[in-house]
Amino acid sequence: MSDNQADLVLHARWVAPVAPDATLLEQHAVVVRGDTIVDLLPSALADQQWRATEVRRLDQHLLIPGLVNAHTHAAMNLFRGLADDLPLMTWLEKHIWPAEGRWVSDPFVYEGTRLAAGEMIRAGTTCFADMYFFPDAVAKATLESGLRAAIFCPLMDFPTPMGSGPEDYLRLATDAVDQWRHEPRLSLGFGPHAPYTVSDGPLEKALTLAEELDLQIMMHVHETAGEIQQAVEHNGDRPLARLRRLGLLTPRLLAVHMTQLLDEEIQWLAETGTHVVHCPESNLKLASGFSPLYKLRQAGVNVALGTDGAASNNDLDMIGEMRAAALLAKGVSLRADALPAAEILEMATLGGARALGLDDRIGSLQAGKQADLVAVNLARLETQPVYDPVAQLVYAASRDQVTDVWVAGRALLKERNLLTLNEAQLVHNAQQWQRKIAGESQ
């Protein structure tokens, strides 16, 4: 290939690179060779300097880095709407865990993850962090969809359809790491469920293994006030203090939810480089509370954004999640300047990439990074006129304005059509699972 030959040149009316110190660009082009961005330059110059196999002119579009959903349980898409309007522990103990005990299997996780992948691609997510059972099925579905995923293998004290107990989960996790970690679009990690379901021994083992294998750890932490009260009554420690004592507060940990935080605990997170994953819609729907986003960011904690699973959110829409996060941060801090739109977009892209240890590869549009890109059409009456395209994306746009998505230079969505998954088939299969599941719970 000659020096000025590219595979793809994307010209866009606006480009938000999200790179450190980068500003919004107008009439620029992103140049892609193979799976990598090789140039970002004014459109007029790109026309002079680059020849390409494919050229797209996105004249009414904002081009952004692919959204990083930093916490979900993809296969739970098949449980969307199964149990609503309940608080966390009733939802989990009385509905979700019994349903998982009955239905979760390799084929369930494969089909549920495919359904979630279709939804995520159509909403502009290019990378998702998954925390669920049967990681091989998640890996297979992800690779087929063309998405990128960080797969956190489960760890709990009690048995599930996947494993008999901590030793078994850890063995299955290391097997999955061996099998999948060399796939360029996958990364692996450990997913101890929560402080109230994993005891000290297995947590220490997971940390040792994560250090040995250089992997991230994801855990639900401080999701509700009840979780903390129960822990204090049980062993005298708040869960975060216990994780600190065990050595888990490090840049390896993604602490999901964190709705209850003392100022001292925010300092621990900042000092140790622990990441927080904020899931505002799930927290609101389960009435769990909300994470003090403004305080966390002021303290210098890296915050990523996640949807949580579709059984508690009930969608995997990162554009909606950005809006919820922005409005909640302002409402809670009583500061209209808390979390401006550009900062929210950064959380939903580079913040997630940092938390997953992938910021050298994804999260911003820079030469040398992977070509994970999303085009959003702003020429709809709902997003007109455009003074500030990023504000329009966060405060006014909807996910169906995502028109095109690329991961590692490969198109997964073209003019709203899925290219790697059959939409009608996904709907059909979801309906079949619903009939089975609903049929038995009557």
**Residues annotated in a binding site for Zn(2+):** 71, 73, 220, 308
Shortest distance (Å) from residue 254 CB to ligand LTUXU72L: 13
Pick out the residues of the known binding site for substrate. Answer: 100, 193, 223, 308
Radius of gyration of the CA atoms of the chain, in A: 21
Shortest distance (Å) from residue 155 CB to ligand LTUXU72L: 7
Residue nearer to Zn ion on the CB measure, 314 or 403: 314
CB contact at 8 A, 374 and 65: yes
Question: How many Å apart are CA 50 and CA 44, to the nearest integer?
Answer: 10
Residue 308 binds Zn ion (CB under 5 A): yes
CB contact at 8 A, 268 and 244: yes
Residue 191 binds ligand LTUXU72L (CB under 6 A): yes
Residue nearer to Zn ion on the CB measure, 308 or 372: 308
* Beta strand spans in 157-296 (E): 186-192, 216-221, 253-257, 275-278
Among the listed ranges 242-250, 304-312, 333-341, 345-353, the one in contact with ligand LTUXU72L (CB under 6 A) is: 304-312
In the sheet where 373-377 sits, what is the strand order? Answer: 36-42, 25-33, 5-15, 51-65, 373-377, 402-407, 410-414, 417-418
Residue nearer to ligand LTUXU72L on the CB measure, 142 or 403: 142
* CA distances, 209 to each of 94, 136, 309 (Å): 33, 19, 26
Tokens of 397: 């746009």
Residue nearer to Zn ion on the CB measure, 308 or 343: 308
Residue nearer to ligand LTUXU72L on the CB measure, 96 or 426: 96
Residue nearer to ligand LTUXU72L on the CB measure, 314 or 420: 314
Among the listed ranges 15-23, 92-100, 134-142, 331-339, the one in contact with ligand LTUXU72L (CB under 6 A) is: 92-100
Question: How many Å apart are CA 219 and CA 169, to the nearest integer?
Answer: 15
The residue assigned the tokens 């600190």 is 244
Among the listed ranges 62-70, 88-96, 243-251, 399-407, the one in contact with ligand LTUXU72L (CB under 6 A) is: 88-96
Q: How many residues bind ligand LTUXU72L (CB under 6 A)?
A: 18
Within 268-297, which residues bind ligand LTUXU72L (CB under 6 A)?
A: 282
Question: How many Å apart are CA 367 and CA 22, to the nearest integer?
Answer: 13
Question: How many Å apart are CA 149 and CA 357, to the nearest integer?
Answer: 12
Residue 96 binds ligand LTUXU72L (CB under 6 A): yes
- Nearest residue to 394 (alpha-carbon basis) of 11, 16, 13, 12: 16
Shortest distance (Å) from residue 91 CB to Zn ion: 11
Residues in the chain: 442
Pick out the residues of the known binding site. Answer: 71, 73, 100, 193, 220, 223, 308
Chain residues binding Zn ion by CB under 5 A are 308
Chain residues binding ligand LTUXU72L by CB under 6 A are 73, 88, 92, 96, 100, 131-132, 154, 156, 191, 193-194, 220, 223, 282, 308-309, 312
